[in-house]
Amino acid sequence: MAKQKQARRLGDHQAQSVLRGVKTSPQKARLVLDLIRGKSVEHALTTLKLSNKKVARLALGALESAIANAENNHNLNVDKLVVDACFADKGLVMKRGRPRARGRFGKILKPTCHLTIVVAEKAADAK
């Protein structure tokens, strides 16, 4: 049997958003998420809006959802939010095939991933 994963615990000043089943590889998603990790949410929103990657549009929606969760569910100040953590986990890999020469069958893998974005309220004394 598979080992049960423990849910990620959030701190008192954190909120998160998870986007599951994104039709792209985790490797491509990590390239975009590395751009916004540790940045303020205003800077991260601008970076994602100006990027022309497909994953950037999806990460933008997840970031906006995390900001809304912070404001509405956790009563955090939106002006003090920073992207605390963001990562792309491996999701389901759909296996497809393509007929090849001499009766062979070429394997085509269509990977998916799960995007997780955690925003946190930075302290007043931190820069």
Q: What is the mean pLDDT of residues 95-108?
A: 96
Compute how many other C-beta atoms are within 10 angstroms of the C-beta atom of residue 108.
Answer: 10
What are the residue ranges spanned by the domains of the chain?
14-121
Tell me, which fold does domain 14-121 have in CATH? Ribosomal Protein L22; Chain A (3.90.470)
CA Rg, the chain, in Å?
A: 18
Sign of CA dihedral 55, 87, 48, 18: positive
pLDDT digits (tens, 9 = 90+) for 77-88: 999 999 999 999
Which of 90, 93, 100, 92 shows the shortest CA–CA distance to 30? 90
Question: Tens of pLDDT along 11-61?
Answer: 889 999 999 999 999 999 999 999 999 999 999 999 999 999 999 999 999
The answer to whether 105 and 97 are in contact (CB under 8 A) is yes
127 pLDDT more than 70? no
The model's pLDDT over 69-78, given as tens digits with 9 standing for 90+, comes to 999 999 999 9
At a CB cut-off of 8 Å and minimum separation 6, what does 34 contact? none
Question: What b/e sequence results for 21-46 when a residue is b if at least 16 CB atoms lie within 10 Å of its CB, and e otherwise?
Answer: ebebbbeebbebbebbbeebbeebbe
For the cut 60, the answer to whether the pLDDT of residue 104 exceeds it is yes
